[in-house]
Structure 1
Amino acid sequence: MKLQCEVEVINRILPTFGMRNRGKAARAVLSIGRHLDKTTKIQNIYLMICTLKDKAGCKYKADANNLKNFLSAARLAHRGSEVDALPLTALAPARTRDVEKPKSKMSITSKKDYPLTSCFPYSLEQLQVSYCRLSRVDMRMLTLRKLRKLDLSNNHIKKLPATIGDLCCLAELVLHNNHLETFSTALCQSTLQHSLQYLDLGQNKLRALPIQFCQLRELVHLKVDDNEMLRLPVKIGQLSKLRFLSAARNQLPYLPTDFRRLSLENLDLFGNPFKQPNPLDHTIQLKFPLTLLEMASRTAVNYRIPYSPQLIPAHLCQDLDVSKTCDCGNACLNFYIQTTVSMNLHHVSHTVILVDNMGGTEAPVLCYFCSLTCYSEFLDKCLQRSR
């Protein structure tokens, strides 16, 4: 849609400095169309003004609802409707807040500054609310659909609402120093799967993260320092974009076998009570012959056969989701041999913070074997390396 007209561009920031615009109307082509935002990957409606001096044009993001009302009134006027019947407002000078640039950032670091009666600006893209003693997430924050960064650090939040997952543009979520005990499964299965890149859960009371946590495939930076973590997610290797992982000062006795699939730039596991690995100290949980369920499950995982609660019982889906991977590459579920082996953390990260005060960079990793044959071959390799 294009319109040839005289256009004067008004700088909406100048009135906030007590200055007037000294613009001059120029012949231009005014266009309305869609434009893809490269950051959010979302198509929005824009106005574009092209003049003789600027043929490439300048784009201005338009509010869809306001634009719809404006065009509706223009269409009715074009059809010759009675003036009294048109949804028009009286012509009057604009208020300062009407011509100010929409606010995109807000920082509140004191309880006395926290808004109790007014709403947060809907245009916010970054919001920090810290040191306000919040015991829960304010539902007014969850209406901010343009929000890209939400910082709720240094509060008293105990639980996260599942509706945080409705913030489709949220890329950074900071929850450092709160009272969180769990991280909701619903959040792992929300739109955060496609947007969340930075997550800080440091200094809370987390003991574990759900299995579904590894569905947050866009994560690049994860911090879970100073919690009570007893284990990391079983399928953590699925976080293929993860580059910065910090899980210092937790209660981790060992790392999951899938940890070996990570490719990190920086890793910090300092201050965890890692157990000294011993390949001969093992747990044997095998059955001869294997049950039909075990064989079918191994086959489904090895051949990547699709499954869902619509095809098989939900509890079987959960078993398949946490299947173990043998040293030979095949899967095992309920029947296996388990032991721990030492791994140099430089194999998965370019930079490694020392694991302890002794200068070590090695940590124990769980290792699984689908059969006695695989375990025997592993022990033979260990004996050869020790000679």
Structure 2
Amino acid sequence: MRLSCEVDVVNRLLPSHNVRKAKRGCHAQVSLGRKPAASASRSGSQLFLMVCTAKDRNGAKYVIKNNVSQVFAKFVSEGKATIRFKEPEQDLCLSKADPLQLKSLLSLVRAGAQGQDLDRVTLSSLAPASTKQVEKPRTELTVTSRKEYPVTSRFPASLEVLTVHSCGMKRLDPRILHLSRIHTLDLSLNALTSLPDDWGRLSCVSTLILTDNQLSEIPSALWKSQLCETIAVLDVRNNHIATIPLQICELHKLACLRLDNNGFDSLPPTIGKLTNLKELAVAQNKIKVLPAGFAQLRLENLDVSDNPFDLSVEGVTGEERLVFPTLMECVARAIRKYRIPYTEEDLFPQLFHYLAAARQCWCGNFCFTCSARYFSHVSLRHLVSNSYSASPGITTAPIEGFLCSQHCLTRFKNNPRAYWRN
């Protein structure tokens, strides 16, 4: 029985001698077994817990039977536990361990401490650990050319940061989808045209960088998987994304969004729902007007340079469309209002595409064709707390919004700069 984890040995006598613990824990291999000399006659042989580190590959051994005073396993599901020995008076603090393996080890330690028979359990021979077994797991890997790409070898399962640059990758390597500890994934400067819907175990990614690829759309897996609750930085600059989907506003933890140089002409009308967004870059696109929800953002940094803003538009248009909504409109409004989940297979095509054109009124309700449109201007300086970048001479941006009813139209005309909710 072997376990790779972080180990911190705490001597309980140090505080009584007014001595502080000098060093921190280190990576180690923890083994439970019997000495090789006693393997021939297991009955009556002593059971040991051995801790091998890079500095001590032969390992420190602790007797198990009648020598474990307590096992602290409250946080075993997080890969943490503490084993308290009677002699020597030390605590073995384990962390960063596989929860299932740790739980199994603690179960055997308890059984061995009580003198139970473990002859049917496969135990370690307590041989000295190899260098590979005690070296610290690799958490970062950077690949900058095809020659460096691990074709025949595996990606280390312990990776937390993976950077793959300039490798001409056209499809995502399936092995990357099984690196469950990754929190930063950088796949820039490749030739990716799409990403798979199945993100495997990528449930911890908070930073996703896909700049300088050939993507034509933002991967839908971002809001169809657990990534919806983890993504904080999304960078898709220098791609060919023609449309920013409405669902991107469901990434509630998104703090940094970079969409420069893609060629889209509008932002989602519900962008104001990104309450944690602090940095937004949409330079070098074809945006003429910004959605009204843009004014709800509280940004620290903003870049809207090199966009063909149309500052001449202002006022209300399409008042004649504010009639009683059709059945199609009523159904679509209900689906959006109550956030009813759906896929393309659940709805007939006309309704599915109709839902993609959702607009949000300032009252909070969604509307579609039955709506009036208004234009206004907003000061860029009032939207940011630090700095903003815009084309020369541009200090304001045009805002486009929609009104879902005659009631909202009247309220808007009475106070165009107000913001309300039902």
TM-score by length of 2: 0.72
Determine if contact 1:47/1:62 at 8 Å carries over to the other structure. no
Deviation at 1:57, TM superposition (A): 6.8
What 5-or-longer segments of structure 1 have no aligned partner? 37-42, 383-387
SS at match of 2:182: coil
Paired position in structure 1 for 2:207: 172
SS at match of 1:128: strand
Pairing of 1:169-318 with structure 2 (within 5 A): 169-280=204-315, 282-284=317-319, 286=321, 288-291=323-326, 294=329, 300=334, 307-309=340-342
The question of 1:33 aligning with 2:73 is answered yes
Deviation at 1:7, TM superposition (A): 7.4
Q: In 2, distance between residues paired with 1:186 and 1:318?
A: 19
Paired position in structure 1 for 2:55: 14
Q: In 1, distance between residues paired with 2:141 and 2:70?
A: 33
Q: Which one of the candidate residues 143, 146, 149 is aligned to 1:111?
A: 146
The question of 1:369 aligning with 2:403 is answered yes
Q: 1:347 to 1:301 in 2, by over 3 A?
A: farther
The code of the aligned residue for 2:383 comes to V
Question: How far does the alpha carbon of each residue in 1:263-283 deviate from its partner, in whole angstroms, 9 at most, with x for none?
Answer: 111111111111124224734
Determine if contact 1:355/1:362 at 8 Å carries over to the other structure. no
The code of the aligned residue for 2:296 comes to R
Pairing of 1:41-190 with structure 2 (within 5 A): 43-50=77-84, 58-64=93-99, 66-67=101-102, 70=105, 79-80=116-117, 86-88=121-123, 90-164=125-199, 166-190=201-225
Q: 1:154 to 1:56 in 2, by over 3 A?
A: same
Q: In 2, distance between residues paired with 1:167 and 1:261?
A: 31
Question: How far does the alpha carbon of each residue in 1:166-185 deviate from its partner, in whole angstroms, 9 at most, with x for none?
Answer: 31111111111111111122
Deviation at 1:355, TM superposition (A): 1.9
Paired position in structure 2 for 1:385: none
Determine if contact 1:165/1:190 at 8 Å carries over to the other structure. no
Determine if contact 2:139/2:158 at 8 Å carries over to the other structure. yes
SS at match of 1:140: helix
SS at match of 1:199: strand
Q: In 2, distance between residues paired with 1:380 and 1:95?
A: 78
Moved more, 372-381 or 118-127: 372-381
Q: 1:173 to 1:157 in 2, by over 3 A?
A: same
Determine if contact 2:58/2:127 at 8 Å carries over to the other structure. no
CA RMSD of aligned residues (A): 3.9
SS at match of 2:153: coil
Determine if contact 1:225/1:249 at 8 Å carries over to the other structure. yes
Deviation at 1:374, TM superposition (A): 5.1
Determine if contact 1:339/1:368 at 8 Å carries over to the other structure. yes
Q: In 2, distance between residues paired with 1:305 and 1:227?
A: 32
Deviation at 1:62, TM superposition (A): 2.0
Paired position in structure 2 for 1:40: none
Question: How far does the alpha carbon of each residue in 1:46-76 deviate from its partner, in whole angstroms, 9 at most, with x for none?
Answer: 2325579998874423224544665687769
Determine if contact 1:271/1:355 at 8 Å carries over to the other structure. yes
SS at match of 1:258: helix
Equivalences, count: 362
What 5-or-longer segments of structure 2 have no aligned partner? 1-31, 33-46, 417-422
Q: In 1, distance between residues paired with 2:412 and 2:153?
A: 65
Determine if contact 1:200/1:223 at 8 Å carries over to the other structure. yes
Q: Which one of the candidate residues 317, 320, 336 is aligned to 2:371?
A: 336
Deviation at 1:194, TM superposition (A): 1.2
Determine if contact 2:362/2:402 at 8 Å carries over to the other structure. yes
Identity value in percent: 32
